[in-house]
């Protein structure tokens, strides 16, 4: 059916949501607006669904959510014969509505649903899947996207985001469905009465927090450290549990950024509620100037990531990157667990390939095995799952990615801002007792190992020719890989699409035992590095640079040289 035919069908059938009815009527006769909403369907992938809230197959609404959930129901029933699914949501617009609609569909298919009575962090959803032994999970969130968006993250039975294979199987089921005719629904209250939908009890959240507290490194360290914290949940869902865990471990002096305390899907104070972006932290930093805390914590809307700022030498506040925070946490966890005698005999750390190489130095220092995985926290979760299958789950110590996602412990299988906030405060308190600030800690690591500067650059290739141009660039890179970049000799290349790592000095090749991905990596002299990969969701090529200098200025000079050289090689 063409987009106009689809639009007319929705005019007739999509009558249950007054907002959609109004929107459909308003765009009547506006071909451009109709086309934008109906020229395609939102695709269900490993991140589930994500799109602008509104009417049409290319928008997030109750009908698209129902269709996706019917596809998931069919997948669960085919694979398991029966099943249970946990569902939660964050502070996004219509998030609670979409959660309830998904629950109605699952219940109508005879699948038991465990549902939260209020918004909860994404890691809690991962925990619920594991706690109740569910076959799948759904988190209604668009993470750190602008307010106009909502989404639907899908989880597998291990509490990790669905694998490519599982998401593909769900997508295949969705493709078979007519969005109106083939979706089963059940009255919500009737499903509650029949026990097909059940609200999660408070003691389950307490058990989650108990698991978080088990990850403490120095229990009790915060109680007399005099740690002073400013916290902002960025109008998301971290407020209750982050504040509760900080209180439980003894952090009493917590100032909340009032304008961002309560859930608000409009995100009026931070249009891009992403702790990676300085503007999102503006109110938090202003509060710091007044309160003068030791550090600022900022969790994103679904509370799976946390950004920080720390007091600098001159009394101002320094933003700490995800790589820096992860490196400090790695040093803190490994050094203290070794000292406390709680480090396992065969400890395992995990990071993504685009995350700082400084972690490699720390793992060498403490004789810890480091596993590098592809970008995406599900791959870190997969490492934990494999350790679990081998009976070595406790060997997992810590994992993180450069975009502010951290996890200690295996009680969930996704990044967790609640446990990360707790560990950051423990770390700050431990060093405060030693007379050190976190600014001094990260600078100390740079003095010990060199200044590791990580830079991410994006280059857009818009229009119909964009994807073709990106493919040509990657193909040319593989066929004519340079032997040096910016005067630094290429020691090794890693082609994740062909699963081959090559030592250029010996010509020796080694298999990369990771899922295939269109990524090409150059390991250079001086521990410098360049990684090139096309974005999987946007018409962009991303360039990840690692420059290792004697100090910050030296690292910047190397970064500039690497950037110019790689851009020349790529013809950008």
Q: What pLDDT band is residue 274 in, cutting at 50, 70 and 90? A: very high
Q: What pLDDT band is residue 46 in, cutting at 50, 70 and 90? A: confident
Q: Give the active site residue among 41, 91, 126, 143.
A: 143
The answer as to whether 466 is a domain residue is yes
Amino acid 358: pLDDT: 97
Amino acid 536: pLDDT: 63
Q: Are residues 263 and 298 in the same domain?
A: yes
- Give the mean pLDDT of 550-562: 97
Rounded distance between C-alpha atoms, residue 348 and residue 369, angstroms: 5
Other Cβ atoms less than 10 A from the Cβ of 8: the count is: 16
Residues 6+ apart with CB under 8 A from 437: 294, 310, 311, 312, 431
In terms of DSSP H, where are the helices of 366-464? 377-389, 417-433, 438-449
Amino acid 535: pLDDT: 78
Q: How far is CA 41 from CA 36, 51, 103, in A?
A: 10, 10, 22
Q: How many folded domains does the chain comprise?
A: 3
Rounded distance between C-alpha atoms, residue 283 and residue 275, angstroms: 12
Amino acid 526: pLDDT: 96
Residues 6+ apart with CB under 8 A from 209: 241, 244, 245, 248, 418
Task: Give the torsion sign (CA, 98, 100, 102, 104).
Answer: negative
pLDDT at 493 over 70: yes
Please answer whether residues 333 and 340 qualify as being in contact, where contact means their C-beta atoms are separated by less than 8 angstroms.
Answer: no
> Distance between the two ends of the chain, CA-based, in angstroms?
40
Amino acid 490: pLDDT: 97
Q: How far is CA 404 from CA 47, 144, 208, in A?
A: 18, 12, 21
Please answer whether residues 317 and 285 qualify as being in contact, where contact means their C-beta atoms are separated by less than 8 angstroms.
Answer: yes
CATH classification at residue 35: 3.40.120.10
Q: Which pair of structure tokens corresponds to residue 399?
A: 């994992």
Q: Are residues 158 and 73 in the same domain?
A: yes
Rounded distance between C-alpha atoms, residue 7 and residue 499, angstroms: 45
200, 224, 246 - which closes a domain: 200
Amino acid 295: pLDDT: 97
Q: Are residues 459 and 441 in the same domain?
A: no
Q: Are residues 398 and 268 in the same domain?
A: yes
Q: Are residues 191 and 269 in the same domain?
A: no
Cα 369 to chain centroid, rounded = 23
Segments forming the whole domain that contains residue 59: 3-200
pLDDT at 265 over 70: yes
Q: Which pair of structure tokens corresponds to residue 91?
A: 């502070």
Amino acid 538: pLDDT: 67
Q: Are residues 422 and 442 in the same domain?
A: yes
The answer as to whether 336 is a domain residue is yes
Q: In terms of pLDDT, which residue wins out, 206 or 468?
A: 206
Q: Are residues 458 and 424 in the same domain?
A: no
| 3-state secondary structure at position 489 | strand
Amino acid 282: pLDDT: 97
Mean pLDDT of the chain: 96
The answer as to whether 338 is a domain residue is yes
Q: Are residues 343 and 360 in the same domain?
A: yes
The answer as to whether 470 is a domain residue is yes
Q: Which pair of structure tokens corresponds to residue 438?
A: 């976190």
pLDDT at 537 over 70: no
Q: Are residues 339 and 431 in the same domain?
A: yes
Please answer whether residues 553 and 470 qualify as being in contact, where contact means their C-beta atoms are separated by less than 8 angstroms.
Answer: no
Residue percentage of the chain with pLDDT more than 90: 93
3-state secondary structure 339-373: HHCCCCCCCEEEEECCCCCHHHHHHHHCCCEEEEE
The answer as to whether 540 is a domain residue is yes
Other Cβ atoms less than 10 A from the Cβ of 209: the count is: 18
Task: Give the torsion sign (CA, 308, 46, 330, 521).
Answer: negative
Residue percentage of the chain with pLDDT more than 70: 99
97-141 pLDDT per residue, tens: 999 999 999 999 999 999 999 999 999 999 999 999 999 999 999
Please answer whether residues 261 and 233 qualify as being in contact, where contact means their C-beta atoms are separated by less than 8 angstroms.
Answer: yes
The answer as to whether 12 is a domain residue is yes
Other Cβ atoms less than 10 A from the Cβ of 220: the count is: 12
Q: How far is CA 228 from CA 112, 288, 390, in A?
A: 44, 10, 42
Q: Are residues 127 and 83 in the same domain?
A: yes
208-262 pLDDT per residue, tens: 999 999 999 999 999 999 999 999 999 999 999 999 999 999 999 999 999 999 9
Q: What pLDDT band is residue 462 in, cutting at 50, 70 and 90? A: confident
CATH classification at residue 539: 3.30.310.50
163, 179, 200 - which closes a domain: 200
419, 449, 479 - which closes a domain: 449
- Give the mean pLDDT of 442-459: 96
Q: Are residues 274 and 167 in the same domain?
A: no
Torsion angle of the four alpha carbons 399, 531, 159, 70, in this order, in degrees rounded to the nearest 10 = 170
Q: How far is CA 529 from CA 304, 370, 491, 548, in A?
A: 28, 18, 10, 9
Other Cβ atoms less than 10 A from the Cβ of 92: the count is: 29
79-102 pLDDT per residue, tens: 999 999 999 999 999 999 999 999
Amino acid 509: pLDDT: 96
- Give the mean pLDDT of 258-284: 94
pLDDT at 465 over 80: no
Q: Are residues 398 and 477 in the same domain?
A: no
Q: Which pair of structure tokens corresponds to residue 500?
A: 């081959």
Please answer whether residues 62 and 185 qualify as being in contact, where contact means their C-beta atoms are separated by less than 8 angstroms.
Answer: no
Amino acid 271: pLDDT: 86
Would you call 327 a catalytic residue per the annotation?
Answer: no
The answer as to whether 205 is a domain residue is no
The answer as to whether 25 is a domain residue is yes
Q: What pLDDT band is residue 539 in, cutting at 50, 70 and 90? A: confident
């Amino acid at each position: 059916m063409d987009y106009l035919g689809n639009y007319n069908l929705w005019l007739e059938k999509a009558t249950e949501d007054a907002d959609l009815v109004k929107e459909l009527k308003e765009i009547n006769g506006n071909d451009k607006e109709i086309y934008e909403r109906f020229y395609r369907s939102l695709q269900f992938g490993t991140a589930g669904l994500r799109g602008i809230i509104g009417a049409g197959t290319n928008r997030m609404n109750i009908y698209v959510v129902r269709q996706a959930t019917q596809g998931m129901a069919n997948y669960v029933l085919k694979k398991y014969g029966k099943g249970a699914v946990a569902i939660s949501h964050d502070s996004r617009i219509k998030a609670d509505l979409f959660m309830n609609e998904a629950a109605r569909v699952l219940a109508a298919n005879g699948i038991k649903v465990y549902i939260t009575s209020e918004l909860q962090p994404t890691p809690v959803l991962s925990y619920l899947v594991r706690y109740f032994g569910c076959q799948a999970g759904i988190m209604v969130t668009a993470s750190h996207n602008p307010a106009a968006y909502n989404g639907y993250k899908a989880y597998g039975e291990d509490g990790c985001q669905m694998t490519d294979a599982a998401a593909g199987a769900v997508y295949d089921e969705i493709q078979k469905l007519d969005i109106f005719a083939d979706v089963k629904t059940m009255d919500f209250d009737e499903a509650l009465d029949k026990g097909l939908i059940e609200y999660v009890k408070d003691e389950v959240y307490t058990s989650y927090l108990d698991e978080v507290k088990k990850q403490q490194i120095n229990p009790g360290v915060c109680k007399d450290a005099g740690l002073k914290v400013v916290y902002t949940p960025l109008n998301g869902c971290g407020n209750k549990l982050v504040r509760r865990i900080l209180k439980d471990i003894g952090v009493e002096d917590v100032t909340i950024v009032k304008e961002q305390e309560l859930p608000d899907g409009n995100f009026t104070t931070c249009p891009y509620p992403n702790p990676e972006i300085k503007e999102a932290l503006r109110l938090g930093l202003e509060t710091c100037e007044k309160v003068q805390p030791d550090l600022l914590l900022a969790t994103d809307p679904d509370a799976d990531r946390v950004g920080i700022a720390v007091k600098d030498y001159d009394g101002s506040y320094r933003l700490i990157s995800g790589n820096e925070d992860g490196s400090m946490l790695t040093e803190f966890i490994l050094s203290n667990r070794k000292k406390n005698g709680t480090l396992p005999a065969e400890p395992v750390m995990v990071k993504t390939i685009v995350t700082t190489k400084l972690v490699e130095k720390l793992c060498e220092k403490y004789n810890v095995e480091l596993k590098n995985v592809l970008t995406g926290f599900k791959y870190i979760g997969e490492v934990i799952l494999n350790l679990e299958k081998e009976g070595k789950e406790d060997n997992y110590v810590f994992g993180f990615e450069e975009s502010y996602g951290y996890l200690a412990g295996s009680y969930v299988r996704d990044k967790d801002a609640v446990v990360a906030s707790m560990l950051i405060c423990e770390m700050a308190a431990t060093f405060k007792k030693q007379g050190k600030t976190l600014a001094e800690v990260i600078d100390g690591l740079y003095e010990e190992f060199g200044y590791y500067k990580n830079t991410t650059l994006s280059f857009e290739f818009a229009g119909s020719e964009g994807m073709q141009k990106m493919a040509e660039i990657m193909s040319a890179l593989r066929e004519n890989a340079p032997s040096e970049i910016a005067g630094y000799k290429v020691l090794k290349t890693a082609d994740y699409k062909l699963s081959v790592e090559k030592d250029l000095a010996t010509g020796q090749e080694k298999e990369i035992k990771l899922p295939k991905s269109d990524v090409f990596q150059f390991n250079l002299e001086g521990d410098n590095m360049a990684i090139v990969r096309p974005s999987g969701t946007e018409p962009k090529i991303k360039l990840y640079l690692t420059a290792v200098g004697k100090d910050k200025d030296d690292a910047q000079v190397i970064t500039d040289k690497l950037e110019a050289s790689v851009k020349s090689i790529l013809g950008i």
